[in-house]
Amino acid sequence: MLHHPLLCASRTATQSTLCAFVFSGTGNVLPGRNSLAGNFGLKFSKQMSGSKLNYSQTREGFKLRTTNANANAYGHAQEEVLKEEAIEVVENRPSWETSPGQAFPLGVSQVDNGINFAIFSQHATAVTLCLLLPERGSIDTLDGGMIELALDPHSNKTGDIWHICIEDLPRSNVLYGYQIDGPQDWGTGHRFDRSIVLVDPYAKLIEGRRYFGDISRKLSKFLGTYDFDSLPFDWGENYNLPNIAEKDLVIYEMNVRAFTMDESSELDNNIRGSYLGVIEKIPHLLELGINAVELLPIFEFDEMELQRRPNPRDHMINTWGYSTINFFAPMSRYASAGGGPANASQELKQMVKALHSAGIEVILDVVYNHTNEADDPNPYTTSFRGIDNKVYYMLDDKGQLLNFSGCGNTLNCNHPVVMDLILDSLRHWVTEYHVDGFRFDLASILCRGTDGSPLNAPPLIRAIAKDAVLSRCKIIAEPWDCGGLYLVGSFPNWDRWAEWNGKYRDDIRKFIKGDSGMKGSFATRVSGSSDLYRVNKRRPYHGINFVIAHDGFSLRDLVSYNFKHNEANGEGGNDGCNDNFSWNCGFEGETDDASIRALRSRQMKNFHLALMISQGTPMMLMGDEYGHTRYGNNNSYGHDSAINFFLWDQLDARKGDHFRFFSNAIKYRHAHKTLSHENFLSENEITWHEDNWDNYESKFLAFTLHDKSGGDIYLAFNAHDYFLKALLPTPPTKRKWFRVVDTNLQSPDDIVLDGVPGIGETYSIAPYSSILLEAKF
């Protein structure tokens, strides 16, 4: 594996600038202040082609000292070059004062007498703090060098936490990391490597490459940084959190970069694909009608990770972001104009503030089940693995990584240290960035003990539910993992946790595409999945209803493909789910056949209507409002292209038809509280117009939702391939049925919010279509 030259312990002869200062002392560091130039003693080290040339401080200055005879091969000229470098460094050497510092808080903090650094490592035998100062270059350049400060285990360690405080250190733009040494026995689970500079797990900002997908810097290193110079973010005197009730949420799952990256967004190149780009498109979100965005991961991740070594996927860029480097730092390459981590932090806050001002909540998709550090055969050590592998990851009895995530490693979530890390991270996003909630990727992993076995009462899940800071947050579990722990309806919840309802997705798909025997399941799902969530104090809104999510087919592909088409991913079609419950409506893929296109349009509207009239919390996917296609790719994580980008020109082309239906259906839900009950429906609140539940071949369902004021809503779904004439129930006194939705009709008649009168005692419902009638005066 290649590392950034600045940060390696060794360098080639062609990389001949000074690599590092190494601060070391001849004895233990005494409590109190110490001068780095005095008490510690400066030692500059450089390793070249197997030889080590050392400079040690004397009264006469810096003298070259060779550590083996091979150094003579460099000759007199090389010696003079090195002397010049050393002299230049001496003239600019820092004159900081240091003290042992404090163990808490972990990470970097500003204290009265300087900047404090603290990091946990239970099994480390040596810890070195590495600093790169602004005047000595940056991670983007190859000039300057890192300052290495070895921490003394007797004075710079409290329990398992290593710490130091440095006076006069710049308050911003300093890059830092750690070199950590320890036992080398992989068989017992250790993965220490002294040569690698590691990212602090508690770093609040991460510096790496500045531009997303920059192929010229695909092997760039990542370092922590901090910013104590900037003024606190101005949230505004009249700023308020939306505080939307869970039962009233309509969630829009989206990717920050993909939302505005396409040229059709017509945004300035500097803000396309950025946090600021999202702000520019808030009017679209308001027009659509959603009131919460669920952002695909925005924690710092390495989008170029698939290109670190030759492999079948090395042509791809990770654009979804499910590969976390650090759990505190916002994705720096979502800053505008390559602005870097401090700007990313500020612009993310601007985005949250703007969304909140528009009445839209912000939910983060968070990945605490694994990290970017891959597996043991192809390890990618950036942080946790090299800091304390045995603590941060689940291991088997042979010291090898367990893999319940499908990504090579599994975070040891219920270990006390890791649990604290996760809780501290969540609180940070709530207090610093004002986010409104979290969706936990593969949350069943958070329910496993340190040995990987399932826990009935996982400490972490309980702690999140009971935490005071997180009390106002929506907390949503993806209640399964890649190890087979499927907890839909049984996720440990403490009456707070909501769940992605995977059974809703599957049952709705099967019924609407015309599978037999699904009528009863369809009825259960649209009425709130009481079979799953009616327990203790759980409510219908604890089920997050969805037909489509980022992982799988888009809505258009769900009605256009019978099979996944993932050839572009490079894995021979072996990746991605095979159980899509999709139907291509008679032809695989794109077609000009008008009848097939019309059927697909109807089916997409049927799915969306079912989602918006179901009890529970609806979630839709970015792009489905105009019918985005990925051309059958149901695992498009690695395509930083139009496959994933929101295509604004296609939205414009379908604004008056497809988008209009989707937007109006959402707005109808908001306007009718009958569709979003606080509690599960009673017998007085719903009437099923069905006396043939056991008919396996029946694919028709009709029901009425009763409103206390008389504004009843009648719904019917026909998944047969022929017309059905439905006998309508008598509307409430003095009211008549008005047609609001008929997905068989062309726009604008397919949805009319005020309703169309003249509905008789029966209604002929077309094949693969649905209707919504409202009782009105």
- Residues assigned a catalytic role: 441, 478
- Coil, helix or strand at residue 258: helix
CB neighbour burial string for 269-308, b if at least 16 within 10 angstroms, e if fewer: eebbbbbbbbbbbbebbeebbbbbbbbbbbbbbbbbbbbb
Q: Is residue 428 within a helix (H) or strand (E), and if so which, with residue range?
A: helix 416-433
Measured at the alpha carbon of residue 302, what is the angle toward residues 205 and 229, in degrees to the nearest 5? 15
Q: What is the C-alpha to C-alpha distance for residues 444 and 166, in angstroms, rounded to an integer?
A: 42
On the question of a cis peptide bond just before residue 618, with omega within 30 degrees of 0, the verdict is no
Q: What is the C-alpha to C-alpha distance for residues 383 and 201, in angstroms, rounded to an integer?
A: 7
Q: Please answer whether residues 413 and 403 qualify as being in contact, where contact means their C-beta atoms are separated by less than 8 angstroms.
A: no
Which is it for strands 114-120 and 762-765: parallel, antiparallel or unpaired?
A: unpaired
Q: What is the C-alpha to C-alpha distance for residues 98 and 170, in angstroms, rounded to an integer?
A: 14
Q: Please answer whether residues 403 and 436 qualify as being in contact, where contact means their C-beta atoms are separated by less than 8 angstroms.
A: no
Q: List the alpha helices (DSSP H) in 571-713.
A: 594-613, 648-653, 660-671
| Stated length of the chain | 777
Q: Please answer whether residues 256 and 278 qualify as being in contact, where contact means their C-beta atoms are separated by less than 8 angstroms.
A: yes
703: closest CA among 722, 683, 724, 721? 683
Q: What is the C-alpha to C-alpha distance for residues 574 and 320, in angstroms, rounded to an integer?
A: 19
CA quadruple 749, 752, 757, 759: dihedral positive or negative? positive
Q: Please answer whether residues 259 and 622 qualify as being in contact, where contact means their C-beta atoms are separated by less than 8 angstroms.
A: yes
- Coil, helix or strand at residue 390: helix
Which is it for strands 172-181 and 223-227: parallel, antiparallel or unpaired?
A: antiparallel
Q: Residues near 162 by Cβ (< 8 Å), separated by ≥ 6?
A: 118, 119, 120, 121, 124, 127, 151, 153, 156
Counting Cα atoms < 13 Å in the Cβ hemisphere of 266 gives 5
Q: Is residue 75 within a helix (H) or strand (E), and if so which, with residue range?
A: helix 75-91
Q: What is the C-alpha to C-alpha distance for residues 379 and 372, in angstroms, rounded to an integer?
A: 9
Task: Locate 709 and state its tokens.
Answer: 């004021």
Q: Residues near 595 by Cβ (< 8 Å), separated by ≥ 6?
A: none
Q: What is the C-alpha to C-alpha distance for residues 386 and 408, in angstroms, rounded to an integer?
A: 16
Bridge partners, residue 4, by sequence: none
Place of tokens 């004895």: 27
Task: Locate 80 and state its tokens.
Answer: 């003079």
308: closest CA among 372, 225, 390, 380? 380
372: closest CA among 495, 209, 199, 248? 199
Q: List the alpha helices (DSSP H) in 403-550.
A: 416-433, 459-466, 502-512, 519-526, 530-533
